[in-house]
Amino acid sequence: MKRLAAAMVALLLGAWLSVPALAADGSLSGAVIVLDPGHQLGNSNPKFSSQMKQKRFNGTLVKGCNTTGTATNKGLPEATFAWRVSQVLKQQLEARGAQVALTRTVNSRNAWGPCVWDRAGLSAKVNADFFVSIHGDGAPAKGRGFHVIAPGRLKGWTKDIAVGSRQLATSMIAGMKQAGATPTTYLSSPLSVRTDQTTLNFNDVPAVIVELGNMRNARDAAQMSSAAGVQQYANQLATGISRYCEVRSRCR
Ligand SMILES: [Zn+2]
């Protein structure tokens, strides 16, 4: 009876928590991963307008330092959503033995940027194996679900990372789906290959941008705004990242 009672409690607890914690193991031991929580709260602060006005050529076109990002209709900023997911994900990856570097250390109205080319530059600085940028999309309200952006081949820019980034994107998509993520309903494919993304073009290691959902969609917005939802997004990303290292038997 005691054992049954314990099993019942475990079952009830599991149902209440609803999101199982990922196992802490050494499966990512030795991996060096850059997580890039998109945007920054201070990017919309007028006192940083001169910093935000910086522009650079990214191999395809001239683009700005960074943007303010989108928000849910109820006002949750993309910067805050990306920040929360990255904090949980960092812990999960570290529990699996990875070293994790973040491209920004605060989420504050009194901080700006960093510019996306500097975020990308962190990969080389920490000798990262790969780079995952975390965002929420601002698409028409009807569509929902995630998609992953990989860099297309650009000579002198991404030629060296295009294949690896594509592998990373494919693994992320498969792993995220396995962990219960809904693929985009508003694009034809959850894989998007683009040559106009500064964050990807300035990278020297396999790099992807993950748009975790559509912040303008009510269902996605509700998930993005809850602690359990943030945990789910982090689980999905961690599963995708682990899958990338699994299929290659290494992270590099
Ligand atoms: Zn974004």
* 81-137 pLDDT tens trace: 999 999 999 999 999 999 999 999 999 999 999 999 999 999 999 999 999 999 999
Share of the chain above pLDDT 90, in %: 87
Reported CATH class of domain 32-248: alpha beta
Report how far ligand 1's centroid is from the alpha carbon of 248 (Å): 29
Q: Mean pLDDT score of the chain, rounded to an integer?
A: 93
The model's pTM is: 0.91
The predicted structure's pLDDT at residue 252: 81
- C-beta of residue 86 within 8 angstroms of C-beta of residue 37: yes
Residue 17 is predicted with a pLDDT of: 47
Return the sign of the alpha-carbon dihedral for residues 67, 44, 213, 13. Answer: positive
**Which range has the worst mean pLDDT, 17-21, 24-28, 53-57?**
17-21
How far is the centre of ligand 1, averaged over its atoms, from the C-alpha of 1 (Å)? 53
What is the set of active-site residues? 211
pLDDT of amino acid 3 = 54
What's the pLDDT band for 16 if we cut at 50, 70, 90?
A: very low
pLDDT band at 7 (very low <50, low <70, confident <90, very high): low
d(CA 240, CA 179): 8
For residue 247, how far is its CA from the centre of ligand 1 (angstroms)? 28
pLDDT of residue 15: 45
Please say whether the beta carbons of 217 and 74 come within 8 A.
no
Taking the centre of ligand 1 as the mean of its atom positions, its distance from the CA of residue 38, in whole angstroms, is: 5
